[in-house]
Structure 1
């Protein structure tokens, strides 16, 4: 009997030695973890990398600051639609829709206005497929979503020295952007404050610069008024359809766009109107870099 007991004990000992503990690749065998690197190289000259940005992956959300971060969250296995974006000045975000702040315009009855100088918005939309017991290194290429537009007008004629100011607005600018689908929507207006250029090749011309999420709607139109000192002439109204010139504005947002137009003649009478035509990208100088002719009506 004693020999049988010892034999059974040996069998049990050998059996226990054959049972191995599971081997895992990570300390989180049932979940996945992400190390995220944001690539900010696709941005315009002189634009800073945002100090912070938001990461939204499924129901999880966090705010980060460094270019590379190990996200402090255990992800269940699955596919996560992931959105990464910053929140610049005068831009708000709800879900995947960015909205430019409203602004007051000096033009009654033409519709809503949006801020003329929102901050630089960057976004990224990507899918992250997560498996358990895995560490992931993801790279998010951030896309610049705000583009700079400059319009330069070159008045000519006998009354240019009496110009007091030029003011106007551009219609058909995007008030919202769904950065999940890339759809620009909610057409609005943006006010243009033209300032006289006092030095350089464009001295004597007038320029207005704005920042836009993009263009939206069927038409983009410049409407402006030239005011003269002493009210002589009283005013001159300017109008120009820029739909064709801005058709590709929503692409290549890292590149500022300048459109130059020349006023062929500044009328000396009152209540004149004018239409600027033949807009060309450039700085508005004569010749190859872009100028526009003007048709006058009264």
Structure 2
């Protein structure tokens, strides 16, 4: 009789796929394949089952440490890069003492997935991670010799998204933010036509909907004379999120000729800088 009961128990155990047959497990794989070519994979990211808790992981595939009652759940995967504050499902670019946004935060990624957990089974899902930050470089070009008149080249960009919802990828801000930049000489210092190049590089979430993206460039000459040129980049920025590859915008810069004669910036156009300008923030 003992042998008979033992055999029956073995057959019963084999009917279950997990150690807790009334619940289900979830194995999650994150897909980073759509990130931009220059971005770096985060060393750690967070998996959050909405309303059920979260866990920080380092591997691309992991079994969530908790089991779940059968039902529908929502998964959020995201990283916590430098330069961002994350509260709940909202990521916000940090603000400097000047009140402007940090111009070069880290690369922010998030992914969302609906989970349908069944009892006594392991659900396997792949979450595609979307890159929420894009690199933007401005390049200004001077005629040879004009650089000798220039002391400092600064700029302000306004109408920029300061915060984003990690689930939807949409802005959570009511009004746009502003950031400051300083243009620096590139390396090499000239383009293929011998023009002197100055550049500054940002990482931003995009342009704020229903606001204009205004770039104000301030030129300070060696004699301390200052001049400003304002450019409306709204048309260029409206499709900013269509790609996550780095965007480069370049234009020719004309310094003021004399007192009362303002400098100028020709139309911005896509280009490839031949050097990388360093960014400095106030």
8 Å Cα contact 1:101-1:114 kept in structure 2? yes
**For residue 95 of structure 1, what is the aligned residue in structure 2?**
88
**For residue 199 of structure 2, what is the aligned residue in structure 1?**
207
**For residue 229 of structure 2, what is the aligned residue in structure 1?**
238
- The answer as to 2:36 corresponding to 1:44 is yes
Larger radius of gyration, structure 1 or 2? Answer: 1
What pairs up with 1:122-161 in 2 under 5 angstroms? 122-156=109-143, 159-161=146-148
**For residue 194 of structure 1, what is the aligned residue in structure 2?**
183
**For residue 269 of structure 1, what is the aligned residue in structure 2?**
258
Q: Distance in 2 between matches of 1:64 and 1:266?
A: 52
Q: Distance in 2 between matches of 1:160 and 1:248?
A: 33
1:194 is displaced (CA, Å) by 0.3
What pairs up with 1:67-106 in 2 under 5 angstroms? 67-105=60-98
8 Å Cα contact 1:237-1:272 kept in structure 2? no
8 Å Cα contact 2:110-2:167 kept in structure 1? no
1:157 is displaced (CA, Å) by 8.0
8 Å Cα contact 2:76-2:112 kept in structure 1? yes
Q: Distance in 1 between matches of 2:186 and 2:260?
A: 26
Q: Could you tell me which of 250, 255, 259 is aligned with 2:249? A: 259
Q: Could you tell me which of 169, 172, 188 is aligned with 2:159? A: 172
CA-atom RMSD in angstroms: 2.3
Q: Distance in 1 between matches of 2:103 and 2:83?
A: 9
1:198 is displaced (CA, Å) by 4.4
1:49 is displaced (CA, Å) by 1.4
Helix, strand or coil for the counterpart of 1:205? strand
Helix, strand or coil for the counterpart of 2:91? strand
CA change 1:249–1:282 in 2 (3 A) is same
CA change 1:102–1:271 in 2 (3 A) is farther
CA change 1:77–1:199 in 2 (3 A) is same
Report the more deviating stretch, 272-281 or 208-217.
Answer: 272-281
1:200 is displaced (CA, Å) by 5.8
Higher relative contact order (CA 8 A, sep 6+): 2
TM-score by length of 2: 0.84
1:34 is displaced (CA, Å) by 1.0
**For residue 5 of structure 2, what is the aligned residue in structure 1?**
none
Helix, strand or coil for the counterpart of 1:50? coil
1:93 is displaced (CA, Å) by 1.2
Runs of 4+ in 1 over 6 A off after TM superposition: none
